[in-house]
């Protein structure tokens, strides 16, 4: 028979009676596949075509708690659900871009963590170490106590490239004056003088510093000296140092010191000046401390008040500490809701 005269392709030919035994098993298999694909939907689950893929809905490192897809797309234990990196304050806010290796934003009254970027990485703090030095000195000495200075600031600066207050052996300085010299010009000589006075010697004082961070529950910090010069055993995290900065501004005496632009100690030397430029350039700034070493790079803990809110920002490993701090502050202040209410 000449099949070319039919008006449909040969592949659409109806099977003959003796070929049905070949077609029926194939149809049975296709039917079972179709039925199986619809069983989850019939049982109350999502159709396979409507279930969002976790890789697209919850990329690694992204926050999936605000404005998130349905819970099935980001189950507890997923990287996105558990991640503490860059949690946005609200769904519309774009996380800020900074030069720092790690950062944190704390709302001061309750200590709420508003933002975290590698916030528990252990990094060198540089002179942010002096925040803890000041806390321990204030806790264990009266501001009016007289300190017999033994450190030579000029020699310390020449041998270690330290920032110094300018102390000389034989001077008698109050604890208050040394705290100004510690926190304003970031005097390493003032750190050593306070450590020797309060602890008896530097190692004993450093033990007190480490006891303080343990008391505060800050597990990513260990001190090796009271001034912040690089040491393998000296490290902190953005979260820990922000919490230490919060603790400092909760102490009225220290809070007053870090927001003071310039101070004249009771000595024959010149006034000491605050090295934190945010006090003059960022509205609402109230301190706290900056630092720099070759290993740590730029470091900062900054605090500011606006519209009844007080934020503490920390940045470690930065090449632009003031720009980074301002970027984080502005981003956090755009959300007017307080996390402490």
What positions carry a catalytic annotation? 127, 130, 186
Per the listing, tokens 């910090």 go with 221
Angle between helix 188-199 and 129-140 (nearest 10): 40
> At residue 95, what are phi and psi to the nearest 5 degrees?
-55, 140
Count Cβ neighbours within 10 Å for each residue of 280-289 and write b for 16 or more, e otherwise.
Answer: eebeebbbbb
Tell me the backbone φ, ψ of residue 82, rounded to 5 degrees: -90, -15
Q: Which of 321, 323, 315 is nearest to 121 (CA)?
A: 315
The full DSSP string for 289-332 is EEEEETTTEEEEEEEEEETTEEEEEEEEEES-HHHHHHHHHHHH
E strand or H helix at 42 = helix 20-42
* Cα–Cα distance measured from residue 19 to residue 30, given in angstroms and rounded to the nearest whole number: 18
d(CA 67, CA 303) in angstroms, rounded, equals: 29
Structure tokens at 101: 């290796």
Question: Rounded CA gap, 25 and 18, in Å?
Answer: 14
Q: At what angle do helices 238-249 and 129-140 cross, to 10 degrees?
A: 40
């Amino acid at each position: 028979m000449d099949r070319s005269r039919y008006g449909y392709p040969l592949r659409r030919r109806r099977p003959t009676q003796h070929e049905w035994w070949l077609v029926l098993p194939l149809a049975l298999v296709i039917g079972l596949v179709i039925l199986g694909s619809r069983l989850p939907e019939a049982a109350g689950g999502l159709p396979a075509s409507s279930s969002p893929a976790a890789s697209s809905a919850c990329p690694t490192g992204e926050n999936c708690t605000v404005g998130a897809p349905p819970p099935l797309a980001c189950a507890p234990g997923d990287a996105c659900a558990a991640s503490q990196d860059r949690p946005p304050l609200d769904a519309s806010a774009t996380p800020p871009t900074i030069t720092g290796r790690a950062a944190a934003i704390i709302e001061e009254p309750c200590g709420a963590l508003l933002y975290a970027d590698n916030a528990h990485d252990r990094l060198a703090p540089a002179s942010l170490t002096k925040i803890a030095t000041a806390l321990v000195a204030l806790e264990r000495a009266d501001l009016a106590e007289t300190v017999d200075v033994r450190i030579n600031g000029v020699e310390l600066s020449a041998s270690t490239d330290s920032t110094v207050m300018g102390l000389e052996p034989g001077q008698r300085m109050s604890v208050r004056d040394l705290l100004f010299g510690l926190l304003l010009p970031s005097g390493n000589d003032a750190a050593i003088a306070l450590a020797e006075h309060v602890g008896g010697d530097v190692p004993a004082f450093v033990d007190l510093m480490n006891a303080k961070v343990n008391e505060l529950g800050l597990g990513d910090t260990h001190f090796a000296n009271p001034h912040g010069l690089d040491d393998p055993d000296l490290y902190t995290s953005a979260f820990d140092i922000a919490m230490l900065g919060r603790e400092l501004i909760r102490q009225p005496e220290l809070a007053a010191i870090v927001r003071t632009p310039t101070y004249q100690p009771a000595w024959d030397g010149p006034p000491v000046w605050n090295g934190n430029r945010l006090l003059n350039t960022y509205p609402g700034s109230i301190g706290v401390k900056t630092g720099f070493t070759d290993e740590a790079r730029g470091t900062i803990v900054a605090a500011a008040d606006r519209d009844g809110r007080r934020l503490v920002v920390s940045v470690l490993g930065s090449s632009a500490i003031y720009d980074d701090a301002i970027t984080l502050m502005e981003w956090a202040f755009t959300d007017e809701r307080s996390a402490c209410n």
